[in-house]
Structure 1
Amino acid sequence: MTPAALVLVLASAFFHALWNALLKRHEDPEAAVVGVIAVTVVSGGLWTLGLRGEAFPTSQALLWTLVAGVLESGYLATLARALHRAPLGLAYTVSRGGALLLVWPVSVLWLGEQLTPWAVAGASLVALGMVGMNLVRPRGEVGRGVLWALACAVCIAGFNVSYKRALGAGAQPPALFTLSLSVALPLLALMRLRGEGWRALRREVVARPGMLVATGLLCTLSFSFMLLALASSGTGAVFTLRNTSIAFALGLGASQGEKLGRRQWAGAALILLGAVLLGWPRG
């Protein structure tokens, strides 16, 4: 991984944790995420204005972009439900950590990514840190939030692999980003409309417009930086390094009043160390 890609992934990790933390603060994250993605689609559309050349030069590039969009909708819906029921640190850790355990085998076995001793050591430390963060078995509403986080993990792994396949088939990052979220947005809206109707959804989405716009812009930065790094780096390396966002999420959760135990702090330290081993540039 080049130094430029390393900086992009770390910035993406921070912005990702930050937009999730803002979404968590909304009274109804499941409704708010629809507004957030609407802002993100508009931002992505502006990004495509500088696009040169063909956006999707092959049918495979377009197909994997559409698949990514469907999986993005599942990710955003399950993420909002997890954040609605469980603390930020716990929901974030379970979703990102579970996805990590799925992405690495796929990257090595299917995408041909090289498995080096450094990568194994780094990924192992990250996984160990995530396991150590689970203090007790959650129950009740929090337990249901963790189940949604596990479902979220499957979607995260799926759309990251789809992104890499689309980029490998020639898709340009701005077009990939915008089209995939344009597919996800109506699916998210339809899922929410089934539960409460259009008027209620509109009322909840526009309740805090400033926060939604800020969250949508941060979401745009997070995903665009990740795609730019992914275009020149391996899926497993980018995805694992981006999971340093878990440490950022723990800090943001603490700022919102969530209590952090010693094992959580130790787990965050292991994640950061593993990410450095995994993502540090080598000649």
Structure 2
Amino acid sequence: MLVLSSAFFHALWNALLKRHEDPESAVVGVITVTVACGGLWALGLQGAAFPTSAALLWGVMAGVLESGYLVMLAKALSRAPLGLAYTVSRGGAVLLVWPVSVLWLDERLTLGSVAGAALVAVGMAGMNLVRPRGREKEGVLWALASAVCIAGYNLSYKRALGEGAQPPALFTLSLGVALPLLILMCRQKEPGWGALRRKAMARPLLLVTAGVLCTLSFSLLLLALTNSGTGAVLTLRNTSIVFALALGALQNERMERRQLAGAGLVTMGAVLLGWPRV
């Protein structure tokens, strides 16, 4: 339930970001709200937040990868439909995380997990049998780059938690590291603070709502990761693809039957990968 709730909130805040006129600037405002919420979550923290230097370093690494993910996600959403960009980024992360989880974090490799990975791969290939053109092609490429960062920050979170990091502190640190990096990346596109601030704050209610939903999504993810494998959590969380497709339809996005079938295969593969093993 933690993972599925996280998946719903994740798709919802992505859908809200897509509705902003400039997602690349808006993501700065969203993460500012999220860092503030994370600080409030960490107020009741007891004991060592990061008991080892390794826990702290993995938390910083997660923040660096979070910033890359958020920038690339915003670029993907500004160029491609929500359903397509979301499915490619989340599905790609699945294919990257599972080999690393098996080889490095000792997660079990079973016939079901192999079949799930195959479904994800076939589904992603099916969605892109016809090469996207123009801005949509750029959006898919940014979504693939985002997938690399998604896989990386999930693995970093798992390593930090394994070293004893407490979820509220880890959440606040990683996004606290990500925020200034996000601002620097966005300023390369929009020199000067005034233009960035105006664009980021163009729709304050949307940004605050998206920031709160983002906080819920990531905090539930970390709580689930504390006692579960990275591959299983990430893949089950990718059932958010279904939520993203539904939300995209509500925003009058239309996907071809081939793309819908591919997204369905990605979702089934994610569920199969994340299904509890006995």
For 1:187, what is the secondary structure of its paired residue? Answer: helix
Matched with 2:262 is: 267
Shift of 1:282: 4.9
Matched, 1:254 2:249: yes
**Alpha carbons 1:123, 1:240 under 8 Å: kept:** no
Letter in 2 for 1:78: M
* In structure 2, C-alpha distance between the alignment counterparts of 1:249 and 1:276, rounded to whole Å: 16
Matched with 2:108 is: 114
**Alpha carbons 2:3, 2:224 under 8 Å: kept:** yes
Matched with 1:181 is: 175
Shift of 1:260: 2.3
Summarize the Cα distance change of 1:153–1:272 in structure 2 as closer, same or farther, 3 Å threshold: closer
Amino-acid identity (%): 76
Shift of 1:271: 3.5
| Aligned pair partner of 1:217 in 193, 212, 218 | 212
Letter in 2 for 1:192: C
Alignment of 1:11-50 (within 5 A): 11-50=5-44
For 1:85, what is the secondary structure of its paired residue? Answer: coil
Letter in 1 for 2:273: L
**Alpha carbons 1:90, 1:146 under 8 Å: kept:** yes
Q: What are the ranges of 5 or more consecutive residues in structure 2 without an aligned counterpart?
A: none
| Aligned pair partner of 1:277 in 262, 268, 272 | 272
Alignment of 1:146-161 (within 5 A): 146-161=140-155
Q: CA RMSD in A?
A: 1.5
For 2:143, what is the secondary structure of its paired residue? Answer: helix
**Alpha carbons 2:232, 2:275 under 8 Å: kept:** no
**Alpha carbons 2:94, 2:270 under 8 Å: kept:** no
**Alpha carbons 2:239, 2:271 under 8 Å: kept:** no
My pick for the range that moved more, 148-157 or 17-26, is 148-157
| Aligned pair partner of 1:125 in 116, 119, 122 | 119
Shift of 1:276: 3.6
Shift of 1:99: 1.4
For 2:78, what is the secondary structure of its paired residue? Answer: helix
State TM-score, norm by structure 2: 0.95
Matched with 1:3 is: none
Q: What are the ranges of 5 or more consecutive residues in structure 1 without an aligned counterpart?
A: 1-6
Pairs aligned (count):
277
| Aligned pair partner of 2:2 in 5, 8, 11 | 8
Matched with 1:237 is: 232
Matched, 1:69 2:63: yes
Matched with 1:57 is: 51
**Alpha carbons 2:87, 2:266 under 8 Å: kept:** no
State TM-score, norm by structure 1: 0.93
Shift of 1:135: 5.2
